[in-house]
Amino acid sequence: MHYFKCFIVFSFIVLVACSSSAEEEGIATIEQLDEFETKEVMNRLGLGPVFEFDVTYHQPEQSEFELWLEVYKDGKLLNSKKESLMVSGRMLHDSFGWAIIESGQGNVTIKFYEQRNEEEGGAYTTKLKNHFEEGYPTASGYLFQGTKDLEAGKEYALAFYRQGAQKNQLKTGYDSVEDMIDESALIYLLKFQVNKIEENE
């Protein structure tokens, strides 16, 4: 009887530990990639920054994603989430990327692309008014390092492309994304969110 009670207690502890681990893990995991073929091509052609990510859904059949771009000028948001939503759906391919091409013709071309099993998936392109000012320094980068667990229903800023407010000077090392927005003349933010699909949907 004593051994049976110990077995029950041990099983309960294992069950709780596994449940806690699953909750901490989140609905999905995303990883930023530093080296990839698209980046090499963009760099050779001098077309602008590009970012790529791997995403893993822990329960793909119960997950849907939203991916959009926010544009801020002098700290003010120029577009709503509805206006800037690039792509959404039940499931994203294994990898996706965000590329920015400065055309020099009054527009900035934004390209979003998907890849699956090393084969190119869908590609989505939009053009935005070019608010960048000549002579002001720009910077771009990821907003997290390595891998990140994502909570359901929470917005995450993945990467940025920004221009400083002063010529020949660009501050770095901000404590938060909000501080970066406030102190940038212009900033593009790539946002990502994974939602849990309810059974009755």
**pLDDT tens string 126-144:** 777 777 887 788 888 999 9
CA 111 – CA 132 distance, rounded (Å): 18
Q: Please give the model's pTM, rounded to 2 decimal places.
A: 0.76
pLDDT tens readout for residues 71-84 = 999 999 988 777 77
In this structure, the number of other CB atoms found within 10 A of the CB of residue 139 comes to 16
Q: Which of 153, 149, 154, 171 is nearest to 162 (CA)?
A: 171
pLDDT at 165: 79
CA 170 – CA 147 distance, rounded (Å): 27
Mean pLDDT across the chain: 76
Cβ pair 39, 52 in contact under 8 A = yes
pLDDT at 49: 83
Cβ pair 157, 142 in contact under 8 A = no
Q: In the chain, where are the structural domains located?
A: 26-196
Regions of the chain where pLDDT drops below 50? 2-24
